[in-house]
Amino acid sequence: MIIDVLTLFPEMFNGPFESSIIKKGRERGLVHLNLVNIRDFSEDRHRTVDDTPYGGGGGMVMQPGPIHRALEHLGRRGELGTVVLLCPQGLRFDQEMARSLAAAERLVLICGHYEGVDERVRAAADLEISVGDFVVTGGEIPAMLVVDAVCRLIPGVLGEPGGAEDDSFADGLLEYPQYTRPRTYRGREVPQVLLSGHHREIARWRRQESLLRTLVRRPELVDPERLEPGDRKMLRTVAERLRRLGID
């Protein structure tokens, strides 16, 4: 996959894009990241990319010209794959969206900044994405989140087939609890079932714990249409456990 990131601050990506999973994906030739400095497409000697808003108000607005010229430099509209504008008004980014974007051959991310981008930039985007209902300084950190979530879903990036399948949200639920050595730590034991070697029982325990954790922490994620055949019976068991804990 080719991922182009249009930004005013390409230096912000050096650490995240040269570490961990993204670095491995690049080294394996599975992810090609291209940082494009929007200032390079300004048409004055001061490399101006923003101006005061029409109608008044505080802050500065990113001009449409430099962004459009940067996109045109990358290729014609049909050659750019999916063009994404990162902005607070966009659709909420989630695992399903990450999975959809990971299927694309090319992805272009536009990072807004200041008070946002000129409204006419939106016409160049196929999709607008928000990573949450909070305010950050610009689109750079949200772009890093999107790239990380997408890259780990590209086959081969994690190094193991199906390596991301058990992650939280992969099947709509939160991930089950994980344990490693030591077997006993500060008086807390690893659940016996994980030591049993019975793979079917372990899978059953993990599914039940995943349902329990999701019901307690994020009940809105439980979609009846996505439940597996044995989940309804597990849900009754989970509900009983919650009642014993005094949680309705």
Q: Is residue 174 part of a domain?
A: no
* Amino acid at position 34, single letter: N
Choosing from 136, 151, 166, the residue where a domain stops is 151
Q: Does residue 11 sit in the same domain as residue 116?
A: yes
Q: Does residue 138 sit in the same domain as residue 193?
A: no
Question: What interhelical angle do 140-151 and 95-102 show, nearest 10?
Answer: 70
Choosing from 129, 151, 173, the residue where a domain stops is 151
Range of the domain at 200: 184-244
Residue among 153, 220, 210 nearest 178 (CA): 210
Q: Does residue 42 sit in the same domain as residue 121?
A: yes
Q: Does residue 67 sit in the same domain as residue 117?
A: yes
Q: Does residue 189 sit in the same domain as residue 146?
A: no
Q: Splitting the chain (248 residues) into consecutive groups of 10 residues, what average pLDDT does each group show?
A: 97 95 96 98 95 93 97 90 95 96 97 93 96 94 98 91 62 91 96 96 94 92 88 85 79
CATH value at residue 93: 3.40.1280.10
Tally of domains in the chain: 2
Residue 236, number of CB atoms within 10 A of its CB? 10
Return the pLDDT at 77.
79
Return the pLDDT at 114.
85
Q: Is residue 9 part of a domain?
A: yes
Task: Decide: residue 207, CB within 10 A, 0-12 exposed, 13-18 middle, 19+ buried.
Answer: middle
Q: Is residue 44 part of a domain?
A: yes
Using CA atoms, how far apart are residues 139 and 136, in angstroms rounded to an integer?
A: 8
Q: Which residues pair with 91 in a beta bridge?
A: 129
Beta strand 184-185 pairing with 188-189: antiparallel
Q: Which helix (H) or strand (E) holds 70?
A: helix 64-74
Beta strand 32-37 pairing with 50-51: unpaired
Q: Does residue 197 sit in the same domain as residue 102?
A: no
Return the pLDDT at 228.
87
Q: Does residue 36 sit in the same domain as residue 136?
A: yes
Q: Is residue 159 part of a domain?
A: no
Q: Does residue 130 sit in the same domain as residue 198?
A: no
Residue among 152, 169, 168 nearest 96 (CA): 169
Q: Is residue 160 part of a domain?
A: no
Return the pLDDT at 191.
96
Q: Is residue 51 part of a domain?
A: yes
pTM score of the predicted model: 0.87
What token pair was written down for 81?
């794959």
Q: Does residue 142 sit in the same domain as residue 28?
A: yes
Return the pLDDT at 181.
94
Q: Is residue 55 part of a domain?
A: yes
Q: Does residue 74 sit in the same domain as residue 138?
A: yes
Return the pLDDT at 160.
66
List strand residue ranges (DSSP E) for 66-161, in order: 82-92, 106-111, 127-130
CATH value at residue 198: 1.10.1270.20
Q: Does residue 34 sit in the same domain as residue 107?
A: yes
Using CA atoms, how far apart are residues 181 and 194, in angstroms rounded to an integer?
A: 12
Q: Does residue 22 sit in the same domain as residue 129?
A: yes
Active site residues: 88, 115, 152, 167
Residue among 148, 217, 224 nearest 177 (CA): 217
Return the pLDDT at 168.
65
